[in-house]
């Protein structure tokens, strides 16, 4: 595997080593943190329900499965690590709807190139993400009969040979945590992937259904749309999270 090497001799400031009461090992004390950014320097909005980075500690090999370094919905990440160790950072071996120049694909399902870090203290590193499409101008509204939450948004193709968009998705949550882990969602097949304005919708009854949210009489909801690309079934491109208010609460079942 081709590896790029970065020697990071960073002073650990403001973090004290904590000895374990029951053994001779120190607790993880170095923080590896950073952001996913677009080429314009804007935050890349990620799906926190999907692992992106894998960290492998030197000497253990890839047989141990590595450490999943998760990314938040706003594109930030943070992971505690042991100091004075070498780590190999790479991407999850999955098809992704974006490229990351720091991790070129090895092709033929072999995953992505790695970066080797010698961790002696805190590390801060941002990574550029080049999505195949951009989602913008998300608009949320109730349908005229007040039975559906409807989303309209623009899609811009950023990579000429990007796979076609095959579906749009609308996720609805009672909180600001909205990603593919939300079961209250609805998909819509895309008949014309060249369209630049797309839609998604979900019945308001889904949001009120107790299988998703028990006794949900909220007059608001947090929503997020995503697009699925052909041949990339597990990782989607997401919009920002928006709040819709003044949702009707009539004709709901009585509380037990």
Angle at 172 between CA 170 and CA 177, to 5 degrees: 110
Residue 108 has pLDDT above 60, yes or no: yes
Angle at 48 between CA 218 and CA 161, to 5 degrees: 115
Q: Are 116 and 77 in contact (CB under 8 A)?
A: no
Q: Are 223 and 207 in contact (CB under 8 A)?
A: no
Q: Are 210 and 183 in contact (CB under 8 A)?
A: no
Instruction: Count how many residues are written for the chain.
Output: 256
Q: Structure pTM?
A: 0.85
**Token reading at 169:** 């998705």
Q: Are 177 and 145 in contact (CB under 8 A)?
A: no
pLDDT tens for 158-176 read: 999 999 999 999 999 999 9
Mean pLDDT of 47-76: 85
Mean pLDDT of 35-42: 97
Partner residues linked to 43 by β-bridges = 37
Place of tokens 């193709």: 157
What is the structure's pLDDT at 64?
64
**Token reading at 96:** 């992704």
pLDDT band at residue 241, thresholds of 50, 70 and 90?
A: very high
pLDDT band at residue 83, thresholds of 50, 70 and 90?
A: confident
Residue 5 has pLDDT above 50, yes or no: no
Q: Are 200 and 244 in contact (CB under 8 A)?
A: no
Q: Are 173 and 182 in contact (CB under 8 A)?
A: yes
- Spatial CA neighbour of 44 closest among 100, 83, 84: 100
pLDDT band at residue 63, thresholds of 50, 70 and 90?
A: low
Lowest mean pLDDT among 21-25, 104-108, 112-116, 252-256: 252-256
- Spatial CA neighbour of 150 closest among 195, 193, 197, 182: 197
- Spatial CA neighbour of 48 closest among 231, 186, 176, 215: 176
pLDDT band at residue 84, thresholds of 50, 70 and 90?
A: confident
Partner residues linked to 151 by β-bridges = 140, 200
> Three-state DSSP class for 135?
strand
Q: Are 71 and 53 in contact (CB under 8 A)?
A: yes
Mean pLDDT of 100-126: 93
Residue 62 has pLDDT above 60, yes or no: no
Mean pLDDT of 42-49: 97
Q: How many CB atoms lie within 10 A of CB 42?
A: 9
């Amino acid at each position: 595997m081709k590896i790029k090497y970065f020697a990071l001799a960073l002073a650990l400031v403001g973090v004290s080593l904590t000895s374990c009461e029951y053994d001779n090992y120190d607790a993880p004390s170095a923080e590896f943190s950073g952001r996913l950014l677009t080429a314009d320097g804007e935050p890349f909005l990620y799906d926190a329900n999907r692992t992106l980075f894998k960290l492998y500690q030197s000497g253990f090999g890839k047989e141990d499965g590595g450490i999943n370094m998760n990314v938040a919905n706003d594109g930030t990440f943070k992971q505690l690590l042991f100091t004075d160790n070498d780590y190999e950072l790479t991407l999850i071996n999955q098809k992704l709807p974006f490229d990351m120049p720091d991790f070129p694909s090895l092709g033929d399902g072999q995953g992505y190139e790695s970066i080797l870090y010698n961790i002696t203290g805190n590390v801060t590193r941002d990574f550029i993400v080049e999505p195949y499409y951009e989602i913008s101008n998300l608009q949320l509204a109730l349908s005229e009969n007040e039975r559906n939450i409807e989303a309209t948004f623009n899609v811009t193709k950023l990579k000429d040979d990007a796979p076609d968009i095959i579906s749009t998705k609308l996720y609805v949550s009672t909180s600001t945590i909205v990603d593919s882990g939300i079961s209250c969602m609805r998909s819509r097949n895309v008949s014309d992937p060249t369209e630049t304005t797309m839609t998604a919708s979900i019945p308001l009854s889904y949001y009120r259904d107790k299988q998703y949210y028990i006794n949900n009489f909220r007059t608001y909801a947090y929503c997020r749309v995503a697009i699925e690309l052909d041949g990339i079934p597990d990782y989607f491109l997401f919009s920002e999270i928006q709040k819709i208010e003044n949702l009707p609460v009539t004709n709901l079942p009585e509380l037990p």
